Structure 1
């Protein structure tokens, strides 16, 4: 067993610098004057950053937040977000990031589900928060507004507190984050994440990002999303690198920051990278030098080979990863392999055991699971310190996902002889047409190769003869259009007939979660959509 994995699974208390809350303190002692984080309103070195965290931890405790108490945050990307995380970790509390893009009722659902003791919210969202609290049955005992101004609730709390010294003694299994899943199939579930998972992910990131104190990392993906917080921001702090936080994604602003701040890497989801690519193609050549940029990281959904090639033509290496809220990064495809192994999500990272298995022999009995042969489809399962503790107060969902130490991802995949994994869909996405299993991801990958198609999502719909058939929802590139005959012809010599979509629906955009994942349960047929402007059907069978 790897020494880090042994440390993470032993159950012993974590000691600095492995205790998650201690990371900024370590750098405050060793590099006090070095740059730590900025958000456009405030720039902090490690000494100042750690000092604010320490006082905030004291204020959280005096506000009545105890061990395993919940602190909800409804904030833009700002230094207060990270201060709240590390302060919560030091007192043994649990940070609950909440999606800024949710409706009042959706936020109220999460308030009622996790019952936070304290809420930090963005002052400019006061109307949204007030409405959400009005719908919620549970209200936090304390609510602090954050605006970046010296007079806001948050800054006043920091001015009136003292440094926190009585650290909570936590084990690796002590919870530190409660992150709600994307809700791609319905109501989100709260994944309860322990200290060991956050540390394991930071150690894995050190391996595949090769990060360190010289890195300056741009965070433009939301910190309420696992990619922004767990994969990019926290591992950077663990490694002693600097963070530049942006509150809003604008392609030109990203490239401006890459130059102005000497950014060494940043990350996002493919839909963001497509817009970044468009901005490079549409802008005067050589406007942005990108001289310090080592690579760009992408995760969240499949990446087209055209996008990889375009980035390479711009002199940018695109590195890919795959994971879930419940696990963070499980596999990584290095920038050097991105073209040669395009279509795969790479090989498993360290500190985790990842398998592709057939569970048919005993759905809830890992001893009866069969590891699939190269090229054979199966479900990805994982065990090790990277896994969650379970779903918050949801024993039924936890029991379905965590089986005898294995986390069943619900992702279907194949594995080749070299260990590279290719996603073929979700167990919930698969449908059966004429007795044949149809895996949407396989079909979507074929259509994404067409230069006129920007995005595609395939779903199954009822059919009187075949049981179910495929319905493809398409977003075309600007100024492009394909008829049903042209779409059928594209797939005819690439896919078996039963895999080919029977209907096509043209969309302006596909519904997505804040993390960029397509919400297939929100895709409507033309009959369900009802009315012009939403979508239009390309003639189908």
Structure 2
């Protein structure tokens, strides 16, 4: 596994090369992790090749400072590029109408994943598209294909956003969903005809599926 290159930022502090600079933080040496109780499979995911894989995504600048970018569980792979949900959420949080934002993957048979966002608050499809076009650090594959508009975010018993539920429901949910067809920049309401037509191959997939030496991989 190769190390990620240094993160590059513009004068405003926006990350410019997140698709290649963000990776999982791993370390080698003594650490407090003792393993998972009766779960060797999960433990094997954390301990590999003599390294401890934290499950945390970071990027590192040229001076060695680390910046948290989310969890590996929230990583998306769109058309061979790894994207961090947290990074996209930070951008979408600038949208004036968004009270809360959650970004997650919708399986796609061609690209691997598509980006879907749940937005709590007011949503104007034209204004949202214009907002996305004005964001200098929004990569070409980061713009949400689907936007679910919710009154309030679903939460877990610990009051965290229920991302697993959002991923499970995908665009098969009780809330209004807007989508941006391939090649288009504007959003339109997702209809049953869309799901039965151009999105039919995607629909079935939503239900499947001594020292400290830090490195990004």
> How many residues are aligned here?
164
- Residues 486, 463 of structure 1: CA spacing in aligned structure 2 closer, same or farther, 3 A cutoff? farther
- Residues 506, 429 of structure 1: CA spacing in aligned structure 2 closer, same or farther, 3 A cutoff? same
- Residues 510, 385 of structure 1: CA spacing in aligned structure 2 closer, same or farther, 3 A cutoff? farther
Mapped to 2, the partners of 1:417 and 1:512 lie a distance apart of 37
The one of 519, 522, 525 equivalent to 2:162 is 519
Confirm or deny that 1:538 pairs with 2:184.
no
Mapped to 1, the partners of 2:55 and 2:106 lie a distance apart of 21
CA contact (8 A) 1:484 1:504 kept: no
Compute the displacement of 1:519 (Å).
3.0
CA contact (8 A) 2:114 2:145 kept: yes
Confirm or deny that 1:500 pairs with 2:143.
yes
The one of 123, 127, 131 equivalent to 1:486 is 127
Mapped to 2, the partners of 1:383 and 1:509 lie a distance apart of 41
Alignment partner, residue 208 of structure 2 = none
Mapped to 2, the partners of 1:398 and 1:466 lie a distance apart of 30
Alignment partner, residue 117 of structure 2 = 472
Compute the displacement of 1:417 (Å).
3.2
Kindly report which structure 2 residues correspond to 1:197-208, keeping only aligned pairs within 5 A, or say none. Answer: none
Compute the displacement of 1:385 (Å).
6.4
Q: What 5-or-longer segments of structure 1 have no aligned partner?
A: 1-359, 362-369
- Residues 516, 408 of structure 1: CA spacing in aligned structure 2 closer, same or farther, 3 A cutoff? farther
CA contact (8 A) 1:430 1:439 kept: yes
The SS at the match of 1:482 is coil
1:292-344, CA deviations, whole angstroms, 9 ceiling, x for partnerless residues?
xxxxxxxxxxxxxxxxxxxxxxxxxxxxxxxxxxxxxxxxxxxxxxxxxxxxx
Q: Which has the larger radius of gyration?
A: 1
The one of 46, 57, 63 equivalent to 1:412 is 57
With normalisation by structure 2, the TM-score equals: 0.64
- Residues 461, 420 of structure 1: CA spacing in aligned structure 2 closer, same or farther, 3 A cutoff? same
Alignment partner, residue 201 of structure 2 = none
- Residues 432, 373 of structure 1: CA spacing in aligned structure 2 closer, same or farther, 3 A cutoff? closer
CA contact (8 A) 2:119 2:150 kept: yes
Kindly report which structure 2 residues correspond to 1:46-57, keeping only aligned pairs within 5 A, or say none. Answer: none
1:61-112, CA deviations, whole angstroms, 9 ceiling, x for partnerless residues?
xxxxxxxxxxxxxxxxxxxxxxxxxxxxxxxxxxxxxxxxxxxxxxxxxxxx
Compute the displacement of 1:384 (Å).
6.5
- Residues 420, 393 of structure 1: CA spacing in aligned structure 2 closer, same or farther, 3 A cutoff? same
Alignment partner, residue 214 of structure 2 = none
Compute the displacement of 1:416 (Å).
1.8
CA contact (8 A) 2:95 2:128 kept: no
Mapped to 2, the partners of 1:465 and 1:382 lie a distance apart of 34
Alignment partner, residue 97 of structure 2 = 452
The SS at the match of 1:414 is strand
The SS at the match of 1:391 is coil
Q: What 5-or-longer segments of structure 2 have no aligned partner?
A: 8-20, 182-217
CA contact (8 A) 1:492 1:500 kept: no
Compute the displacement of 1:518 (Å).
2.8
- Residues 499, 390 of structure 1: CA spacing in aligned structure 2 closer, same or farther, 3 A cutoff? same
CA contact (8 A) 2:154 2:161 kept: yes
Higher helix share: 1
The SS at the match of 1:499 is coil
The SS at the match of 2:73 is coil
